[in-house]
Chain A
Amino acid sequence: MARDKCVTGIKELDIQMDGGIPVGSTVLIVGSSGSGKTTLCMQFLVNGAKMGEKGVFFTITEPLFKLMANLEKFEFFDKSLVDNGMITIIDLRIIFERMGLDVEKYTVEDASALLDVIKDIAKELDAKRLVIDSITALCYRLQNREMIRDFIFKLGTFLAAMECTTFLTSEVPPREFKFSQYGIEEFISDGIIFLGDIERGGDLIRTLQIVKMRGVNHSRAKYAMSITSRGIELAPLLKVV
């Protein structure tokens, strides 16, 4: 039987995925700095909240006030969703501090404790959508590839059982078709959405491509992406000669 779909609410993206992401999937949102990862994730959460699905956004890369200030520029954002608890935004660095985890590298026990906290929060809030922005910054504190694999795998398994669809943002250098910093995240994820750009006449055209989405007969075509006050929009990319 086909799994239920988690509708992102970004029309063209849902069309490319035959209706949406299978519920409970862990999807890597890959892109360089300024590629639109955070906007895509936030639009995914906001659209979910408008459909009655609670969401949690864990940020590690941006202070809350800056994140909120950026979000308020978008028409899709509705602050009341944060005020009424449909969306919870948490600065993970504050949790690190409170747990005494403001150290350079985590032990296995530290990582396990952090995982438990994230799981507890997701469970307590009954989140159906969760974002970690970015998994790259979080993985930086894990000492080796085994710990990274273990952390993402356990988190993904727990959230899948909760029927919570998860976006993990992955930071990569510009103009490189790689999916993660540590070369492991993509193998544990159920899906990969790659945000890149192409140069045309000296201008950079943003692009979006679904590289992988388990359980979905998805498009692999590259789309032109635009970030406007309305949020993320897509159109078929004209083929470059």
Chain B
Amino acid sequence: MPTTLVEGLKERISTSISMYESLGVVLPGTNYTDLIQAIFACIRERSKDTWVYVTVTRPFESFLRLFGDLSNYPNVTFVDCISRASGIVRRDDQCIYIESPTMLEKVMMEVMNLFSKAPEGAEKFLILDSLSTLMIYNDPSLVTEFFYQLLNKTRSENIHSISLVVEEGEGDKYINKLIYLNDKILKVRDTFI
């Protein structure tokens, strides 16, 4: 059952991505699952559009457990950056595995390749989950450069992006700088609704 928080998040995200090219979502770790559910509700609602979900936070398997076999979400393909590095080996038509979260250029190549196959007329949406986890595996300046490149690329290819930042304690100065590169920022708080 979707909660009020999930419904509210979904509405905010849905409205924001219709209006802006790039959306940054900052949220506390405790609301992570709510946000994922809200994003998947958007994916389901926009079933004719093409979605690519880059996960650095959770392995693809964990999304399968959360949403079943993803048969209700045929329009999303995952780019899983952490399973291989964690020794998890599986194959799935809806997921592309990257050897390591340090291979940022490869992430970019796979993302752009997936969007190149989008049906004509379909809108394109990229979810980056998350900037904060990328910072764990990579030098912050490398993530900064990657994010600049990603935003430039997605903007030039008319791809909407949603970048997540999971806050833990005081905000990281690199992340705070990065997230403001987006056209719109959504900050999820306890008092959000």
Show the binding face of A for B, using Cβ within 8 Å.
200-203, 205, 224, 226, 230, 233-241
Contact = CB atoms under 8 A, between A and B. Distances in A.
Contacts of B100: 201, 203
A203 B106 contact: no
B149 interface: yes
B106 A224 contact: yes
A233 B141 contact: no
Contact of B113 (A233, A239, A240): A233
B139 A235 contact: no
Interface in B83-118: 99-100, 102-106, 108-109, 113
Main secondary structure of the interface of B (DSSP, over half): helix
B142 interface: yes
A24 B29 CA distance: 59
A239 B145 CA distance: 8
Interface residues of B, number: 18
Contacts of A230: 113
Nearest to A240: B142
Contacts of A201: 100, 102, 137-138
B142 A205 contact: no
B146 interface: yes
Nearest to A233: B109
A236 B102 contact: no
B102 to A, nearest CB: 4
Contacts of A202: 102
Contacts of A203: 99-100, 102-103
A205 B145 contact: no
B105 A238 contact: yes
B148 to A, nearest CB: 10
Contacts of A241: 139, 141-142
A241 B139 CA distance: 8
Nearest to A239: B145
B8 to A, nearest CB: 37
Nearest to A235: B105
Contact of B102 (A200, A226, A239): A200
Given A235-B108, A238-B146, A205 B113 contact: no
B106 A226 contact: yes
Nearest to B144: A238
A72 to B, nearest CB: 19
24 contacts: A200-B103, A200-B138, A200-B142, A201-B100, A201-B102, A201-B138, A202-B102, A203-B102, A203-B103, A205-B105, A224-B105, A226-B106, A230-B113, A233-B113, A234-B109, A235-B105, A235-B106, A235-B109, A237-B105, A238-B142, A238-B146, A239-B142, A239-B145, A240-B142
A134 B141 CA distance: 39
Contacts of A239: 142, 145
B105 A226 contact: yes
A54 B106 CA distance: 32
A19 to B, nearest CB: 20
A205 B109 contact: no
A149 B108 CA distance: 42
Contacts of A226: 105-106, 109
Nearest to B140: A241
